């Protein structure tokens, strides 16, 4: 029996709801299989779905019960209005990180040298370069597989980003930056069991966990970033909810003259730390 777009969506919503999964994933998958946007999908509710498309769509919806993120099935995620390729080698870009990008963009004059530490999919570095084209952006990651994803995204989106493989800032030793931005791993190892299965089982551990309290990478950054900043540099960090005070303390100790702001995200959770460096 042929199904309309509406019937296919209705089936997916019911199926996902009965398995305790997020219903919007059904719409994302159908848009993917029909190669269409949301407005066109909603306008085609009474159109019939081809049998081959229906079978492929149905199989992918059922695959979601295994815990695999819908972004890994589709192979992409939207970030700051652009589509980024993703895989199990990188963290799936999240809306909270868009707020970090916006906070940095508010401070840019347009000619800064920027380094993105732990770039993953390249979402931060690529977005900053495309939104402020006269900046010089470098992206660093310790994972070669992650860098390959980021390089592909930069090529697809036409971003001029320099990529470096290595741990934190070590690949750019001897260089100074006007802006250092990072969304490092910040989840305590002990919180592993409380994470959603899609995150725990399918996203890279290297990008998620940071010691017993989630602050391990921030400690290293606070100690090491002196070598890469000058008076007036900006350090912009994404943090886990509830870590604002601790991260501010770590950086205030190492940069006693700095002005440090903890910003809350749209959900009223502390999410961004901005350090205006004074030496």
Ligand-binding site membership of 118 (annotated) = yes
Ligand-binding site membership of 51 (annotated) = no
Backbone angles phi, psi at 16, to 5 degrees: -65, -40
CA 139, CA 205: separation in Å to the nearest integer? 20
C-alpha triplet 176, 178, 179: angle, nearest 5°: 110
Ligand-binding site membership of 87 (annotated) = no
Q: Please identify which residue in the block is written with the tokens 């939207």.
A: 78
Ligand-binding site membership of 174 (annotated) = no
Q: Give Cα 130 to chain centroid, integer Å.
A: 16
Ligand-binding site membership of 67 (annotated) = no
CA 141, CA 168: separation in Å to the nearest integer? 7
Q: Is 32 exposed, middle or buried (0-12, 13-18, 19+ CB in 10 A)?
A: middle
Nearest to 120 by CA among 163, 160, 78, 57: 163
The answer to whether 208 and 185 are in contact (CB under 8 A) is: yes
Q: Is 110 exposed, middle or buried (0-12, 13-18, 19+ CB in 10 A)?
A: exposed
Ligand-binding site membership of 256 (annotated) = no
Nearest to 30 by CA among 14, 49, 51: 49
Nearest to 182 by CA among 72, 91, 85: 91
Ligand-binding site membership of 26 (annotated) = no
Q: CA-CA distances (angstroms) from residue 51 to 14, 60, 153, 255, 268?
A: 20, 14, 32, 62, 45
Ligand-binding site membership of 141 (annotated) = yes
Ligand-binding site membership of 232 (annotated) = no
Ligand-binding site membership of 75 (annotated) = no
CA 98, CA 55: separation in Å to the nearest integer? 35
> Annotated binding residues for substrate, as ranges?
183-186
> Annotated binding residues, as ranges?
118-122, 141, 183-186
> Annotated binding residues for S-adenosyl-L-methionine, as ranges?
118-122, 141, 183
């Amino acid at each position: 029996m042929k199904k309309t777009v509406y019937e296919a969506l209705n089936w997916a919503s019911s199926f996902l709801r009965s398995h305790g999964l997020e219903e919007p994933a059904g719409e994302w998958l159908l848009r993917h299989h029909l190669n269409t946007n949301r407005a066109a999908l909603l306008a085609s509710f009474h159109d019939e779905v081809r049998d081959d498309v229906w079978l492929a769509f149905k199989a992918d919806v059922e695959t979601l019960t295994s815990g695999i993120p819908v972004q890994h099935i589709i192979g992409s995620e939207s970030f700051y209005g652009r589509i980024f390729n993703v895989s199990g080698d990188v963290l799936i870009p999240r809306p909270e990180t868009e707020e970090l990008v916006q906070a940095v963009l508010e401070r840019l004059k347009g000619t800064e040298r920027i380094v993105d530490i732990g770039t993953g999919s390249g979402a931060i570095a690529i977005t900053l370069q495309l939104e402020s084209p006269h900046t010089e952006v470098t992206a660093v990651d310790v994972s070669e597989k992650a860098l390959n994803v980021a390089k592909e995204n930069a090529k697809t989106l036409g971003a001029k980003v320099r990529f470096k493989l290595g741990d934190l800032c070590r690949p750019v030793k001897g260089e100074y930056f006007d802006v250092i931005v990072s969304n490092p791993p910040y989840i305590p190892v002990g919180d592993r069991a409380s994470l959603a299965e899609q995150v725990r089982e399918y996203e890279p551990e290297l990008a998620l966990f940071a010691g017993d309290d989630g602050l391990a990478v921030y400690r290293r950054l606070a100690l090491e970033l002196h070598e890469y900043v000058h008076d007036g540099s900006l350090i912009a960090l994404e943090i886990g909810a509830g870590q604002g005070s601790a991260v501010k303390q770590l950086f205030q100790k190492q940069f006693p003259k700095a002005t440090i702001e903890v910003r809350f995200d749209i959900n009223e959770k502390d999410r961004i730390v901005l350090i205006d460096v004074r030496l």
